[in-house]
Chain A
Amino acid sequence: AQKITQTQPGMFVQEKEAVTLDCTYDTSDQSYGLFWYKQPSSGEMIFLIYQGSYDEQNATEGRYSLNFQKARKSANLVISASQLGDSAMYFCAMREQKAAGNKLTFGGGTRVLVKP
Chain B
Amino acid sequence: DTEVTQTPKHLVMGMTNKKSLKCEQHMGHRAMYWYKQKAKKPPELMFVYSYEKLSINESVPSRFSPECPNSSLLNLHLHALQPEDSALYLCASSQELWGSYNSPLHFGNGTRLTVT
Chain A interface (Cβ < 8 Å from any Cβ of B): 31-33, 35, 37, 42-47, 50, 52, 91, 95-97, 100-104, 106-109
Is the beta-carbon distance between B105 and A101 smaller than 8 angstroms? no
Chain B interface (Cβ < 8 Å from any Cβ of A): 2, 33, 40-43, 45, 48, 50, 55-56, 88, 90, 92, 96-110, 112
B contact residues around A109 at 8 Å (CB): 40-42
How near does chain B come to A79, taking the closest CB pair, in angstroms?
A: 18
The dominant DSSP class at the B interface is loop
B contact residues around A45 at 8 Å (CB): 43, 90, 92, 107, 110
Partner pick for A102 among B2, B41, B88, B101, CB 8 A cutoff: B101
Q: Using A33-B104, A43-B109, A102-B96 as known contacts, list a sample of 11 further A-B pairs with CB atoms less than 8 Å apart, ordered by residue number in A.
A: A33-B102, A35-B105, A44-B110, A46-B107, A47-B106, A97-B99, A101-B98, A102-B100, A104-B45, A106-B43, A108-B42
The 3 residue pairs across chains A and B that have the minimum distance between CB atoms: A106-B42, A45-B107, A95-B101
Is the beta-carbon distance between A33 and B101 smaller than 8 angstroms? yes
A contact residues around B110 at 8 Å (CB): 43-45
A-B contact pairs, 10 of them (CB 8 A): A44-B108, A44-B109, A45-B90, A46-B107, A50-B102, A95-B102, A103-B45, A106-B43, A107-B42, A108-B41
How near does chain A come to B105, taking the closest CB pair, in angstroms?
A: 5
State A80–B79 Cα separation when bound (angstroms).
46
Most B-side CB within 10 Å, residue of A33, A44, A109:
A44
State A103–B48 Cα separation when bound (angstroms).
9
A contact residues around B2 at 8 Å (CB): 44
Is the beta-carbon distance between A101 and B56 smaller than 8 angstroms? yes
State A102–B30 Cα separation when bound (angstroms).
13
B contact residues around A43 at 8 Å (CB): 88, 90, 109-110, 112
B contact residues around A42 at 8 Å (CB): 109
Is the beta-carbon distance between B42 and A91 smaller than 8 angstroms? yes
